[in-house]
Structure 1
Amino acid sequence: MEVQRHTYYRLIHHGIKSLLVDRIGHFTELEYHEYLNGMTGKSCCFAMSDDELRFTVDSLRSEGYLEDLKHVI
């Protein structure tokens, strides 16, 4: 089964939120977009290709920030 784009959006948002809370102790939408831009060169998921979405999810998963959503991936 292929994961749909909106599912990738949710996974990425959840993963980056978890990462930011873990690393800096809090989360804001601005920090989310800044981190995503640093990671992918794009500040929103809508502008990302399917390959970029997969890469981002794979990166977050490999760092352990999507463990609680393993069943979705």
Structure 2
Amino acid sequence: MEVQRHTYYRLIHQGIKCLLVDRIGHFTELEYHEYLNGMTGKSSCFSMSDEELQFAIDNLRSEGYLEDYKRLLTR
């Protein structure tokens, strides 16, 4: 998954951004990192394992986010 890590970073960032705008009406980098930390226990995608990245993607998809990005995810 090493080649895809940056794609996963972008997808997670976009998914959390959409989620926060939907739920609280705005988005900041601090809120992004707090939400990511609550979801995975880590506040940065760079420090996440491949499994944690996949967990974050799966969680965002199950919440209804990232539907437009399914084509970018290869399994």
TM-score range relative to shorter protein: over 0.9
2:65: which partner in 1? 65
- 1:2-54, CA deviations, whole angstroms, 9 ceiling, x for partnerless residues? 56110110110000001000100000000000000111110000000000000
Distance 2:39 2:15 in 1: 13
| Structure number having the greater helix percentage | 2
Equivalence map 1:6-45=2 (5 Å): 6-45=6-45
Q: TM-score, normalised by structure 1?
A: 0.93
Shift of 1:64: 0.9
The DSSP-based 3-state class of the residue aligned with 1:26 is coil
Unaligned runs of 5+ in 2: none
Q: TM-score, normalised by structure 2?
A: 0.90
1:47: which partner in 2? 47
Runs of 4+ in 1 over 4 A off after TM superposition: none
Q: What letter is aligned with 1:27?
A: F
Shift of 1:60: 0.3
Q: How many residue pairs align between the two structures?
A: 72
